[in-house]
Every structure is written in structure tokens, then in C-alpha cells.
Amino acid sequence: MTIFENPPHGRLRAGGTDLMSLPGTGPYVDLRDLPGPSGVTWQPDGSAHIGALTTIAEIARDERLRAAYPALTLTAGALATPQIRAVATIGGNLLQRNRCSYFRNPAFSCHQNGGDSCPARDGLGLYSAVIDTSPCVAPHPSSLAMALLVYAAEVEVHGRSPFPVGSLYGSDPTRDHLLDPGEILLAVHLPPPVAGERAAYHRATSRSEAEWPLVEAVARVTPDGAAAVSVGGVARVPLRLPEVEQALAAGEPMEVAAGRAASRCAPTASNGYKVTLLTATVLEVLEQATAPS
């Protein structure tokens, strides 16, 4: 009987990079030796399937991925530290828990641990979401989900047809992703690449190394001039920014288009700085992605 025929009862773990800081205890189910979901498989049309157990380091250094999907590999190469990237997986990055200090402190009750409120809303919300999409204001920490959004990538979950990566997430304040307990993410499906595309990734952090982003953004620009822009660290879910993309397509100056990222912001008393940081970070990746070679 396989793990798919008999779903495990316990916390699924692959790289296990977050075990020490997460509240609660096991049992844990180790997925590292699960057959199949690791490595990159190239399809006849040039598209790529990345197994969920593929490490972030493998993604960052894969030369064919780098040529085909630069927004993804640039993001992967900037995450965390070399030690974390060597063991953390793309599946774990997509399905990781949020970093909110209230959720991770057993002294507090919140939506994420069985409570019915969000203490970060009226408490220390310096790092909270500035785009309000849920009763919980803990930003989703998946940088790779943000990057995959600009490719309209899909994910494969055992027993389901592939679906858009953005559908992994939602407004439910009790959950960081919408997979049911025991469901296993198998792979990420990327569409056929576009030759000649350019990309840029940038994260704004409070220190230069080994820090979670306050705001991050990625831009992908294809040879026809079409731009795709996604951001992280600012909302309960990773977000694509159609308002910025449409403004660029309409010919608005880059600075004006980047400023449109602020249109959905509703900062708290303590995180208004993120609005300015958001527009500046979006402008940074747009300028990098369109700069002369």
C-alpha cells in the first residue's frame, strides 16, 4: 500500500527547515524518500514539470531553467541562505506556514491556532499585510509562488487535475494554503517558455542577508513588451498586479504604473511604510527587467 492509498496522519515534511520554530509537535511524516516528485522533466513542447521535492538550490542553478524561466530562478537564488536552499524544496516553499510572531507564540490565540481574532491587527503589525484580503493579516511567505504567478504556472496534487498555483491560496484566515490534510503536492507545471524574455527579482529587507522580505517583487517582460508583475510580503496571498500590467500596456510611464500598486493598500497604523516600499520595489524590478543589456 502506497502513501497515496493510505494518506498519512501527521505533519507532512520534506526539507524540514521550519521544524524548530513552528508551534506544536509531531508526529511528522517524512516525504524525502517519496518516489517520483523530484527533479525537472522537460516536455515535448518545451515546457517544464518540476517535482515538488526538487530543492530550491537545484532550481536556482539549473541552466536550462535559468534560460527558460529567469523570473523563477532569480527568485530561487535569492531566498534564505545557501544552507536552507540546499534542503528546502519547492513544494515546501509553496505550502509553508506564515511567519507571524503572534501565531508562532503559544501565549497568543489567533485565527491560525484555533482562536477567533487577529492580534496583529491592533498589536505589533510592523510586518503585517498592507493589502487586506483576509481577517488574518500575516503575509504569505512563499517567494516561489509569487514568481510562478508571472508564468501562470499550475500545480499538480495527487488525485486532482492540475490547477493554477494561485488557487492554492485564499482568504480563509485559519489556513496558509487550501490543501486538505493528507493531500500531497506532486509537481509544478510551467508553460512553454518564451524565447528572449527578461526578468528581475528584488526583495527589500531589514538586513542584507538571511532575512524575510518586508516587500518583494518579480517582473517578467517578453519580447513583445508585455509585462507580468507579482509581489509578496504585502498580502495574505502572493499577488499578481494586473493594475500595473495594464497601466504599462496602456503606455503609462513606468513610475506611474508602479505607483498603481498602492491602489489596493489599506495600511495599519504601524505598516504604512510598506506602501512606499511596495511601489519602489515594483519600480525597481521593472527598471531592471527593461534596462538595456
DSSP character string of 30-86: E-TT-SS--SEEE-TTS-EEEETT-BHHHHHH-HHHHHH-HHHHHHHHHSS-HHHHH
Looking at the structure, do residues 144 and 210 belong to the same domain, yes or no?
A: no
Residues 116 and 57 grouped into a single domain:
yes
Residue 147 shares a structural domain with residue 246: no
Lowest mean pLDDT among 6-10, 41-45, 47-51: 6-10
pLDDT surpassing 90 at residue 95: yes
pLDDT in tens, 185-222: 999 999 999 999 999 999 999 887 778 999 999 999 99
- Distance, CA of 207 to CA of 204 (rounded, Å): 9
Report the distance separating Cα 79 and Cα 60, nearest Å: 10
With H, G, I as helix, E, B as strand and everything else as coil, classify residue 208. coil
Task: Give the residue carrying C-alpha cell 509581489.
Answer: 231
Out of 190, 208, 223, a domain closes at: 190
pLDDT at 65 over 90: yes
Q: Cell numbers for 147, please give them.
A: 514568481
Q: Is residue 1 part of a domain?
A: no
Domain range spanning residue 270?
198-290
pLDDT band for 36, please (50, 70, 90 cuts): low
Q: What is the pLDDT of residues 232-290, one digit of tens each?
A: 999 999 999 999 999 999 999 999 999 999 999 999 889 999 999 999 999 999 999 99
The answer to whether residues 110 and 117 touch, using CB atoms and an 8 Å cutoff, is yes
Residue 293 pLDDT: 77
